[in-house]
Structure 1
């Protein structure tokens, strides 16, 4: 079997993607006939068509890797791949759309509003900011409506910091999602499998010095992780059931990570869905797998073998 790991790309998260790809590549080298590491460039399509590739694992983070575009390309080529289909990835990538889908299934997410950058210019930014404060009160979380790795995210505690947070957000996308900040235990729940066969791994609790931003996520020292998370049995049950419900409701495949906050009322508030979780040395899914007593190379090989056996996505 020839498995191709896709990593890199041109998004803001290129460096993280390369680190994820290298770690998975190295973990698989001893258990498959051939494992190659490929960037997304002009050599990709010829390599897919004529390079004897049996299965692909796309590990691009950010827009092209998680918004369904790369998955759609792989479907056009007709090669099996690990992970969620293009249609489901497209829905999960848009945070506002994902929230609407989850809400219809009774899954809690923080109250929110989405606002395009153009609206601020048309009606006056200060007026819009006043409405945000009146509606949600502070603190609020400002984030790009489409994005990952905490890029462009700010937690705003003071009215005078809100405009700066919006500018920071718009540097990474043209639409901002502003949601009520939720206090509680931040837990990342990883899921392996598809449909009824999906299983939730132990939660990883994230305790961070300051905001859980890009630097905190990928540079050791600012975050403390507890794997498994320090939860009661009831909290663990709620977190696992919520992650599985999200995975199935969003029609995700193979691997996902659901980030949530367990609030004081015992609810799991979903704050993000990841269809291409990071696999770096500080990433949360590998920590969850190790907490479950799983051997990472074996987990990765099984994901690749499952995708190869499933075959390419067929048109519907």
Structure 2
């Protein structure tokens, strides 16, 4: 098959996307597909059309804005080109943390208390409201960003002003939420609508205090325990929440759902990643390996599921 891989892009997660794209391209070549690697540039749409009009399917290895937020998905739909992964609405909803939380709450999936703010609001009013509403530790982060970019864990009032400023450099809206301590867990979801399955739960043990950018992508930055050491009831509950979140947002083919397991409150959902990382240190390939899928077999399965959807 002729398969295009969109990678790179213009978001602040470009470096991660370059690594994801490289992994996808190598796997597709290993599978003997005819592969076109495209470093996505939204200003070169005419060139993109010429590159894509002959392909059978597109794999999206982009992360962050203009890749994971529904814009590229909408473009491919307008072009009439099949692509792997979630559609426009699910991608956009999952990227918007505040909206996604509303959807999770509607489906009785436990969430952390949060509040969002827009850049047109007075910075002084925002700072005052945050300090009156939240008790340390809590998190200030962009509403639409990934890989913990622009995120600050607030441990004292002196951090708030700078954290607000940092978050607003990434997005026009920011979200403030309670910091929930506990075990970092993630669940990969796989399958077409109505036939999704949750893969084995992974526990992430970061080498640093918090699961930050370095912990996610640096070699040896964190340890992945798969399957996570949980009793049967807790395993089934978390996998149920993951599948419910995936379906509630309307995700397709694959996603990864992140949780914190609090000692008293139980599992708290953090977010759904519609285009989870596929780098050598990424979590989704680890979960696939736990059910006997090599990286290349996982990529082929994504394509097979996609073509079944379009047939």
**Fold equivalence (TM over 0.5):** yes
Q: Which residue of 1 aligns with 2:137?
A: 139
* Cα drift, residue 266 of structure 1: 5.2
Across the two proteins, how many residue pairs are aligned to each other?
306
> Do the aligned residues in 1 keep the contact of 2:24 with 2:61 (CA within 8 Å)?
no
Taking the aligned partners of 1:27 and 1:75, their CA distance within structure 2 comes to: 25
Aligned partner of 1:297 in structure 2 is 296
Aligned to 1:62: 64
Structure 1 stretches (4+) deviating beyond 3 angstroms? none
The corresponding residue for 2:3 is 3
Provide, for residues 256-278 of structure 1, a one-character-per-residue CA deviation record: whole Å limited to 9, x for no partner: 01111111235321111110000
The separation in 2 between residues aligned to 1:156 and 1:266, in whole angstroms, is 21
- 1:48 paired with 2:70, answer no
CA RMSD of the aligned region, Å? 1.5
Mapped to 2, the partners of 1:220 and 1:30 lie a distance apart of 24
2:285 aligns with 286
CA distance in structure 1 between the aligned counterparts of 2:106 and 2:159, rounded to whole angstroms: 33
Structure 1: gaps (5+ residues)? none
Structure 2 residue matching 1:66: 3-state secondary structure:
coil
The 3-state SS of whatever aligns with 2:85 is coil
Distance 1:212 1:117 in 2: 27
1:113 Cα offset (Å): 0.3
In 2, Cα distance between equivalents of 1:65 and 1:32: 26
Corresponding position of 2:152 = 154
Name the SS of the counterpart of 2:78 in structure 1.
helix
Consecutive unaligned residues in structure 2, runs of 5 or more: none
1:172 to 159, 170, 173: 170
| TM-score, structure 1 as length reference | 0.92
Per the alignment, residue 34 of structure 1 pairs with 34
Deviates more, 1:36-45 or 1:71-80: 36-45
State which of 72, 83, 86 in structure 2 corresponds to 1:84.
Answer: 86
Map 1:209-220 to 2 at 5 A: 209-220=208-219
Q: TM-score, normalised on structure 2?
A: 0.94
